[in-house]
Amino acid sequence: MTVIQTDGERNELLWSSVQAAMSTGIEGKRVYLARVVANAMTDTTTIDDAQLIVTALTELEGPHISALVKLVAADDANQADPGNSDEILQAALEAIPAPVLATLVRVGVVYVGSEQRGNGLYSVPRARTYSITGVNDFGREVLANLRGIEID
C-alpha cells in the first residue's frame, strides 16, 4: 500500500474506480474496472490509459452501453455499404435519447464532426445527434473489453 499512498495518480485512480464500481449495477463493468486498476498498479506505463478508461466507465451505464452496441453495428453496416451518405448510422443515432448521445460525446467514445464516407462524400453534422459520425477506436475497445468479460 505504500506505493498507492505516495503516488497521487494511482491513489486517485483507485478511489475513482472504487466509486464507479460501487455506483453501478453492471457486474461486468466492476470486473473491467478492477482489471484496469490492477494492471495500472503494477505497470506504470498503463496509468494514462487506465485513467481514461476509468473516467469513461464512471459515466457509462446500461443505456450508454446499449447505445454504443447499436452504434457500432450501424456504423459497421454503414461502412460496409456507405452509398452516398451515412443514413444507416444517422437512423440509429436518431433513435437514441439526447442525454445518452451527450454522454457518449463527453466520454470520448465517438467521432464528432464531418467525416468522409463513401464515394468521396462527407457526413453532414447534425445538431440533434451531436454531430456524431461513428464510434472511434477507444469506444470500440471499451465495448469489446466489456463484452469479453465472463462473470462467474
What's the pLDDT at 33? 94
- Cα–Cα–Cα angle for 128, 132, 136, nearest 5°? 160
- pLDDT for 119: 64
- Whether residue 3 is predicted with pLDDT greater than 90 in this model: the reply is no
State the Cα angle at 85 between 82 and 88, rounded to 5°: 70
pLDDT at 118 (0 to 100) = 62
Distance, in Å, from the CA atom of 19 to the CA atom of 146, rounded to the nearest integer, reads 18
Residue 123 confidence class, pLDDT cut points 50, 70, 90: confident
- 16 C-beta neighbours (distance < 10 Å), count: 18
- Supply the pLDDT for residue 44: 79
92-122 pLDDT, tens digit each: 999 999 999 999 999 999 999 887 766 666 7
Residue 28 — very low, low, confident or very high, per pLDDT cuts 50/70/90? Answer: very high
Q: For residue 1, what pLDDT band results from cuts at 50, 70 and 90?
A: very low
Look at residues 151, 152, 93 and name the one whose alpha carbon lies nearest to residue 124.
93
Q: Which three cell numbers stand for residue 111?
A: 467521432
- 3-class secondary-structure state, position 57: helix
pLDDT in tens, 32-82: 999 999 999 888 788 899 999 999 999 999 999 999 999 999 989 888 876
Per-residue confidence (pLDDT) for residue 69, from 0 to 100 = 97
pTM across the whole model: 0.88
